[in-house]
Structure 1
Amino acid sequence: MSTALETTGFLLGVASWLIIGASLGNDRWKVSTVSGNVIISNRQYENLWHSCSENSNGVADCRDFESLLALPGHIQASRALMIISLLLGLASMIVSLLGLKCIHIGSSTDETKGKIAVTGGVLFLLSGLCVMVCCSWYAARVVQDFNNPFYGAIRFELGTGLFLGWGGAALAILGGGLLTCACRRIKSDKPKAGYYTANQPKTIYAPTAKSEAESRAYV
């Protein structure tokens, strides 16, 4: 695997970690819809941590969710998945940095560095999958409530935070896939195990007088 491709995977992983962090801190995971004939003076939006209301002058008033246990199950799971994703991304960056060919630490062989790079790539893949599941689950609930004719509360649409999460997840999966390509089989210089090798010279045994005498004795 070329050093440029491996470095590209690492940089994509770092970029994904930054975008996922920006997605988690974004306030607009879902935004109140403006469709319809009714003019709405206030715009409401929410994320995993609080809900906000913004008036026509652009002044926002945010209120944190008071009880964790009182929250819906998909919000609790989304919080856990996002935090796990950031922790996995941080660990994968450290591990992948040690596995890069351009970084020389100690007397690590190419085979060892390849295994370390693959470990970092797998962690990036897990990080991206966590964010993908989180954002897709949250978006599915928003779409379900929006299309529910019996839903009496405010209808919301998909916000910027979800799209940032999907973008960060895609970069994490792509970067992890490039790093896992570092898993290659390094040929060993040792000969293959077995009785004979391809280049082993053949030994021709010539019969001796003693062996001829012994064979005649058995006849």
Structure 2
Amino acid sequence: MSSMFQETLAFVLAASGWVLVSSTLATDYWQVSSNDGSVITTSTFWSNLWKDCVTDSTGLSNCRDFPSMLALNGYIQACRGLMIAAVCLGFFASIFALIGMKCTKIGGTDKNKARIACFAGVDFILCGLCSLSSCSLYAHRITSEFFDPMFMDMKYELGAALFIGWAGSILCILGGSVLCFSISDSFTKSHSQANYIYKGAARHSHISSHPRGQAKSVNQRPPPDNSNSSRVQHFDKNVYV
């Protein structure tokens, strides 16, 4: 699988997850009133991060916005902050991913594009973690109240927005991880190619240091030394004197 195909697949996954996370922020049904133990349901209570609503049997809804941000429960404020941070991180990550991908013509050299794409992958992972933490925190509050026998107020169930948020978070984390792994593979290949070129250039410079036409051969042997033979011949001549 080529690195360009991996980058494209990772961007599609992460961008799809960011779209789901962004839609979760404005979705109505974060929690819905429980129908456990009721025979006839005449109205349905539901709420999200911004308002509480009730829908009657005719389909009409009456909503009440939260009056003050400072008067809200702590978990709702935390969920708001995490979801807004997730949307912002996913937005900037999408822009950086488009700049750093190999199929685009902007971003500078391949090394700079790889760094930008790796930064985008980390942003996508952070986006998924923020959204996952927000949805999990909200779901934990709902389930703890639902299974608490001492809680006498209205009990709620998990809404559709939480499942959409979890799905988007998983897609963001998966896409960001694949994007980071594809960039690491390209860094490894470029490093190995650079080492190969450097070694080849060093060998070429070593061979070309000799004058042209007089390159030193590896198997060339030094000329034989005739000094010993001349001494022996001179000695043989003086034997008969």
Same fold (TM over 0.5): yes
CA distance, structure 2, for counterparts of residue 6 and residue 137 of structure 1: 32
User: Given the alignment of the two structures, is residue 150 of structure 1 paired with residue 125 of structure 2, yes or no?
Assistant: no
SS in structure 1 of the partner of residue 103 of structure 2? coil
Which of 1 and 2 has greater Rg? 2
Partner residue, 1:111 = 111
SS in structure 2 of the partner of residue 53 of structure 1? strand
Partner residue, 2:27 = 26
The amino acid across from 1:72 in the alignment is N
TM-score by length of 2: 0.77
17-26 vs 33-42, greater mean Cα deviation: 33-42
The amino acid across from 1:19 in the alignment is L
For residues 156-185 of structure 1, give each alpha carbon's deviation from its aligned partner in whole angstroms, at most 9, with x where no partner exists: 000001001001101100110111011223
CA distance, structure 1, for counterparts of residue 163 and residue 173 of structure 2: 15
For CA contacts below 8 A with separation 6 or more, give which structure has more relative contact order: 1
Note the residue ranges of structure 2 that are not aligned, 5 or more in a row. 208-215, 217-221, 223-241
CA distance, structure 2, for counterparts of residue 51 and residue 6 of structure 1: 42
State the 1:40 CA deviation. Answer: 2.9
User: Given the alignment of the two structures, is residue 191 of structure 1 paired with residue 198 of structure 2, yes or no?
Assistant: yes
The amino acid across from 1:12 in the alignment is L
Partner residue, 2:50 = 49
Pairwise CA RMSD? 2.2
For residues 87-109 of structure 1, give each alpha carbon's deviation from its aligned partner in whole angstroms, at most 9, with x where no partner exists: 00000000010011010126x22
Partner residue, 1:85 = 86
Partner residue, 1:171 = 171
Partner residue, 1:132 = 132
For residues 108-161 of structure 1, give each alpha carbon's deviation from its aligned partner in whole angstroms, at most 9, with x where no partner exists: 222221111110000000000000000001100100000011111110000001
CA distance, structure 1, for counterparts of residue 86 and residue 127 of structure 2: 4
CA distance, structure 2, for counterparts of residue 102 and residue 52 of structure 1: 47
Partner residue, 1:67 = 68
CA distance, structure 2, for counterparts of residue 61 and residue 14 of structure 1: 34
Partner residue, 2:219 = none
SS in structure 1 of the partner of residue 198 of structure 2? coil
CA distance, structure 2, for counterparts of residue 22 and residue 105 of structure 1: 30
Larger proportion of helix: 2
CA distance, structure 2, for counterparts of residue 78 and residue 191 of structure 1: 53
Aligned pairs, how many? 200
CA distance, structure 1, for counterparts of residue 51 and residue 38 of structure 2: 28
Partner residue, 1:35 = 36
State the 1:198 CA deviation. Answer: 7.5
